[in-house]
Amino acid sequence: MDYIKIRFTNFFDQSTSHTEDVFRARPINPMFVSREHKWIPPADIFETDEEIFIRVEIAGVEKENLKVEINSKAIRISGQRSGVPMVHDATFRLAEIQYGDFERIFYLPAKVDIDIVSTSFANGFLNIRLVKLSRNMTNKIIITSE
């Protein structure tokens, strides 16, 4: 069994955006996008009372080029999809597949247990299962004398 590397962190790098702009306009024509643009793989997030599930479509990405970072409030999925060799005398009629770096940061709807995370990667989909922390958990506080 191969494993996907997950890095646990308390914060994400300051060099990246901390917001996931749901309403960000996607480029109309990828051929006119600057080279610094990061493509945005589509994702589904759904939850039950106990768990949060994330599914990201990243066909053509090698598992070695994936990185998942998580803390109790957010998860960052990043990586790179390599381009295919170009045919020298070819004329593109359509170019919709985006290549290069990608990143998605999702703020989670509930705190999760970062010690219980499972992932799988098959058929171009990265699946992540997160276990929610119980809201009914209480901590016993010991009162000490001075």
The CATH number of whichever domain residue 46 belongs to comes to 2.60.40.790
* pTM exceeding 0.75: no
In a domain, 116, yes or no: yes
User: Residue 49 has what pLDDT?
Assistant: 93
Give the chain's domain count: 1
> Would residue 53 count as lying in a domain?
yes
Sequence-separated (6 or more) residues with CB below 8 Å from residue 4:
63, 66, 68, 119, 120, 121, 126
**What pLDDT shows up at residue 108?**
93
Is the model more confident about 85 or about 114? Answer: 114
Supply the pLDDT for residue 9: 66
Query: How far apart (Å, rounded) are the C-alpha atoms in residues 74 and 130?
Result: 11
Helix (H) or strand (E) holding 105: strand 100-107
In a domain, 140, yes or no: no
Does residue 138 carry a pLDDT above 50? yes
Tens digit of pLDDT for each residue in 94-118?
888 899 999 999 999 999 999 999 9
Which band of pLDDT confidence, cut at 50, 70 and 90, is reported for residue 143?
confident
Which two three-digit tokens encode residue 54? 């994330």
- Residue 121 falls inside a structural domain: yes
CA pair distance 133, 118, nearest whole angstrom: 15
Do 109 and 47 meet the contact criterion of CB atoms below 8 Å apart?
yes
pLDDT reported for residue 57: 97
In a domain, 1, yes or no: no
Range(s) of the domain holding residue 68: 6-14+27-83+95-132
- 52 assigned to some structural domain: yes
Q: Which tens digit of pLDDT belongs to each residue from 21-51?
A: 443 444 444 444 444 568 999 999 999 999 9
Q: Is residue 69 part of a domain?
A: yes
- Region 68-89 average pLDDT: 89
Q: What phi and psi values does residue 55 have, to the nearest 5 degrees? A: -130, 125
Handedness of CA 38, 22, 69, 10 (dihedral sign): positive
Q: Is residue 141 part of a domain?
A: no
Specify the pLDDT at position 21.
Answer: 43
pLDDT at 134 over 70: yes
